[in-house]
Structure 1
Amino acid sequence: MIEILTAAELAQARETGALVADILQTLKRRSAPGVNLLDIDSWARTMIIEDGAMSCYVDYEPSFGRGAFGHYICTSVNDAVLHGLPRDYLLADGDLLTLDLAVSKGGVAADSAISFIVGDSRPPESVALIAATERALDAGIAAARPGAQIGDISAAIGSILSEAGYPVNTLFGGHGIGSTMHQDPHIPNTGRPGRGYRLRPGLLLALEPWVMADTAELVTDADGWTLRSATGCRTAHSEHTIAITEDGAEIITLPRQAHG
């Protein structure tokens, strides 16, 4: 299913997106050495509920998972890159942490992810990984405009990741979003321009370049959810939800102060 949102729905999407971004930035500030991943999940739950919103993850039960996710945010550390199930783990200085959050409010969902280094350490490999996904995300957003096609976004993202020297996995990528978290079209993180669904104003997309330092192969944890690099290398993931407008793409998962 591909949804085209009305003006009223896009207004709600902006509100939901700002909430997602605000929660992620608050959690980033709180994610210090010694903080437990379960505390991060609890803080996310409190902020979502206090704002009258709903988690898209608690009851999320896709075919590739093991039962319902049962938590409010994905917390992926170091070699974990996607669907990191919150667990009893204390963050350490230098950990590379990815927080991925999807929330629904007023019937419209928004989805975003940030990767950052915990504490004061700045391992060069981790800095480079994060920077590559952020550049790729910027390139994908720049390619998203009315009349462009999904392949144009995928090619823009993939060219940045490949030029940085990272293998690209196409099993998981970006996606349409609207009344539900995951919708068509699928947006691979590499592809050929001029292919796929043609973008229209009112379309909401979640773009999410992610990479692993030296492999494109994923392995699944015993928890049935957390996806890690097959080699144990570090990973990074950056994501924004964007709305296609008459003029291009509008990032809706920006903190409220950024909108000001």
Structure 2
Amino acid sequence: MTTRRKLVVGNWKMHGSHAANAELLQGILAARPFAAADVAVCAPFPYLSEVAVTLANSGVAWGAQDVSAHAQGAYTGEVSAAMLQEFGCRFAIVGHSERRAYHGETDQQVADKAQAALSKGLTPIVCVGETLAQREAGETEAVVKRQLSAVIHTLGQCIGEIVVAYEPVWAIGTGRTASPEQAQAVHAVLRAQLAAATARAADMKLLYGGSVKPDNAAILFSQADIDGGLIGGAALKAADFVAIARAAG
């Protein structure tokens, strides 16, 4: 039986300022140690350097919200995995539904970004999830399996090195949350798909994201295949984020 340690990651999205970031990070640092979970924050690119300095040797990791699929070159506005690695970045979110929807990222582009991250020692947090229309049409399993399949085929034997985050699009920023049973059902599907691809599937972390709050985190994290959360809005308030991290056990 596996003993996967929980992981709670804050995704700040396009929020932040020098003052707000400092207050938020100090609130998180003041709450250490987190006994049952590893904790990380993913900040906007301009703030990564100051986040790296603030969190140095703290036990709280940090990551980026995206990464380029390219190593270098004439790609204005892109940030490479090598650049992030140089600063000590640990995680890179790839394939978030907002990137897929607003920037047209395909399953293969997401897979290529995951591969680029891994090539420089970053851990990609690969996001998958269905829209409300897809859920109502009974397509949830097919959609998330298709999204993850592209990553499995691209990474091959390295698939065991990623983190997967299931984020139903209809629950992101809406206040609606998948029930623990709904979330667990999809996580079980993803775990089984990974098990067919790698012997390491039982040790891989699968996170849930989508309106996770202090009052629902414990029941979500107690599900058999849910190993923590990718937290959006609640990650912007230190007290809420700390409470969610502590709900891991």
TM-score between both structures, scaled by the size of structure 2: 0.30
Name whichever structure is richer in helix by fraction. Answer: 2
Question: Counting strand residues as a fraction of each chain, which structure ranks higher?
Answer: 1
**TM-score for the superposition, normalised by structure 1:** 0.29
